[in-house]
Amino acid sequence: MVPVFGEIGQMAEIGESADHADGLIARQSHQQFLECKIGVLVRMAPECHRQGADLLDHVECGFAVLVPDHIAQDPAQQADVFHQWAFVLARATGGFCTGSWGHGGGGGLRSRGRVGHASIVLPPPDHQPVTSVKPSSRAPIVIATRESRLALWQARHVQQRLVALGYPVELLGMTTRGDQILDRSLSKVGGKGLFVKELETALEEGRADIAVHSLKDVPMELPAGFVLACVMEREDPRDALVSNRIADLSELPPGAVLGTSSLRRAVLLRDNLSQLGRDDVRIAPLRGNLDTRLRKLDDGAFDAIVLAAAGLKRLELASRIRHSFEPAQMLPAAGQGALGIEVRAGRPDLLEILAPLAHKPTWLAVAAEREVSRSMGGSCSMPLAAHARWDGAQLALQAAWGEVRDDGGTGPWPPLVRAQSSDAVLDQTQALALGQRVAQMLRDGGARVATAS
């Protein structure tokens, strides 16, 4: 006997048969997948049971599982529908929302590969239900992504946006060299490009169509044949102090250890600590993904650590933030808090598909920021901050450059070099010009351009 669902909250059992056994197994596999992914029990609901369906609104992105009445009341038809995967998880609040799921042979779920798809379109709750099922002929858009929890959140965020526009989307997870090398600083092993190289290889080989990046991890110069197709609206760009002991730098105990993975943060923190007369605080390197860094803090290796506020908020870990540094105190990195989508050059179809996801104010701001970094050598071995904010039609751009002391001395650190300028910016050309002007101001103030090693 195989359990299947009848009306909401009820269970029914029917005997296995040659016609429907594989469909029932497929149905069970999908339910188990959802329970694992979302952590809640998902049941099928007849469309007429709107109240019952609304109880499922807390399912990811407000999705609920709905099928036509005649199918929900007939276990055999349920099995056939699930065998064909002719359904969608959707609930729109204004307009139509579509989506689809693929399956491999034998009823098992597949997260990768180009397979058959089908979808059903459902209107907002104040419209009459639509019960017709229509197949989708589009090949899925494949997103290459790192497999850290934050990277997967970012890829799924893009996936959900594209699915809402009617495109089938799959994820291709992979581990990059940047994820594997954890015992050395990025500046000593090849820079932040280590986080994107494998993803670009997947694009080049045709295994993926787009790659989603945290923009601050993307090199300033993309390899030939690749373009930045889209920059999405920015999250909180600030740095965040995370600690189980203190809520501010001034509260650090004598001889405290402060962890960061960034040379930029190291020099800015040292500048802040020097102003507090706290030369006793040691700034130590901290590598690993976000969860790994938090675990090292919780294990007592550090008194406090500094992370990007955006990542913490995206993973619903904002409660771990004890203090958010304003840009005047800790100027963010170029592109911090923004997501960028990379594609192969010569894919106008993808540029058109991704256009609705782009946020022009963010794109212009990060273009100016990244141009400062590019003009200064674009190396993560150089402590450089650049952050732009809008003031009406004016884009105000600030930058800071510092030196890292490797001599182990106890004397004062060299002062930071700072620069700022603003201008009316309407397009990429004007944004780049603003970035170049601020970079020149840094050089005029004594900042040195990074040289290739």
Per-residue pLDDT of 36-61, as tens digits, reads 443 333 344 444 444 444 444 333 33
Q: Give the lowest-confidence range in 44-53, 338-347, 386-395.
A: 44-53
pLDDT score for 198:
87
- Separation of alpha carbons 141 and 112, rounded Å: 11
User: 173: how many CB neighbours lie within 10 A of its CB?
Assistant: 15
Per-residue pLDDT of 166-176, as tens digits, reads 999 999 999 76
Distance in Å from the first CA to the final CA of the chain: 67
pLDDT score for 338:
98
At 142, which helix (H) or strand (E)? Answer: strand 141-146
Quote the tokens at residue 219.
């090199």
pLDDT score for 452:
59
Task: Give me the domains of the chain, ranges plus CATH numbers.
Answer: 2-137 (no CATH), 139-234+332-357 (3.40.190.10), 239-324 (3.40.190.10), 359-453 (3.30.160.40)
Q: Are 351 and 344 in contact (CB under 8 A)?
A: no
What is the full DSSP assignment across 251-296?
GPPTT-EEEES-HHHHHHHHHHHHHTT-TTPEEEE--S-HHHHHHH
Q: Are 223 and 269 in contact (CB under 8 A)?
A: no
Helix or strand or coil: residue 385? strand
- Separation of alpha carbons 201 and 397, rounded Å: 34
Q: Give the lowest-confidence range in 224-238, 278-292, 315-329.
A: 278-292
pLDDT score for 113:
31
- Whether 217 sits among the annotated catalytic residues: the reply is yes
Catalytic residue among 22, 126, 179, 217: 217
How much of the chain, in percent, has pLDDT values that exceed 70? 62
Quote the tokens at residue 385.
């901050």
Per-residue pLDDT of 150-170, as tens digits, reads 999 999 999 999 999 999 999
Residue 196's pLDDT band (cuts 50, 70, 90):
confident
- When mean pLDDT is compared over 52-66, 318-332, 411-425, the highest value belongs to 318-332
How much of the chain, in percent, has pLDDT values that exceed 90? 57
The model's pTM: 0.68
Tell the residue number behind the tokens 């930071």, with chain if given.
416
Tell the residue number behind the tokens 């992914």, with chain if given.
37
23 — phi, psi (to 5°)? Answer: -65, -40
Nearest Cα neighbor of 288 from 183, 198, 153 is: 183
Q: Are 7 and 91 in contact (CB under 8 A)?
A: no
- Separation of alpha carbons 431 and 366, rounded Å: 9
The conformation of residue 415, written as its DSSP 8-state character, comes to P
- Separation of alpha carbons 195 and 349, rounded Å: 26
Residue 261's pLDDT band (cuts 50, 70, 90):
confident
Q: Going by C-beta distance under 8 Å and a sequence separation of 6 or more, which residues neighbour residue 318?
A: 309, 312
- Separation of alpha carbons 200 and 208, rounded Å: 9
- Which of the two residues, 446 and 107, has the higher pLDDT score? 446
At 186, which helix (H) or strand (E)? Answer: helix 186-189
Say yes or no to pLDDT of 12 above 70: no
Residue 287's pLDDT band (cuts 50, 70, 90):
confident
Beta-ladder partners of 416 = none
Say yes or no to pLDDT of 128 above 70: no
pLDDT score for 84:
42
Helix or strand or coil: residue 61? helix
Residue 137's pLDDT band (cuts 50, 70, 90):
low
- When mean pLDDT is compared over 72-76, 85-89, 298-302, the highest value belongs to 298-302
Describe the strand order of the beta sheet including 339-344 as a list of residue ranges: 169-174, 141-146, 210-214, 339-344, 226-231
pLDDT score for 234:
98
User: 294: how many CB neighbours lie within 10 A of its CB?
Assistant: 18
